[in-house]
Amino acid sequence: MKNQSNGSNSRISFGRIPSVIDTPDLLNVQIDSFNKFLQADVPPHRRKKHGLQQVFEMNFPITDARENFLLEFAEY
């Protein structure tokens, strides 16, 4: 039985199975996923068609109801 102390909280572990793998750094998983989505470190002309680039390309150009105005996506 392992006794762990953390300040005023005291926990007793009845677990018999040791930890097999370390817990991944979940913050870095989120940050890496967001960076892949943005492709911010890739020049605009070299971005692949996925993530934010794909969303913009799928939804642009946008026209008004009377087709007087057109909004085009250039780059980000």
Assigned domain for 15 exists: no
For residue range 3-61, what is the model confidence (pLDDT) as tens digits? 555 567 788 888 888 778 888 999 999 999 999 999 999 999 999 999 999 999 999 99
Decide if 4 is inside a domain: no
Q: Is the pLDDT of residue 71 over 80?
A: yes
CA distance 62 to 59: 7
Which residues in 8-71 belong to E strands, given as ranges? 9-13, 62-63, 70-71
- How far, in Å, are 3, 24, 28, 34, 42 from residue 31 at the CA level? 35, 13, 5, 5, 16
At residue 72, the pLDDT reads 98
11 in any annotated domain: no
Q: What's the confidence (pLDDT) of residue 31?
A: 97
Say if residue 65's pLDDT is above 70.
yes
In the chain, the number of structural domains is 1
Report pLDDT for 10.
Answer: 84
Q: Is residue 57 part of a domain?
A: yes
Whether 70 is in a domain gets the answer yes
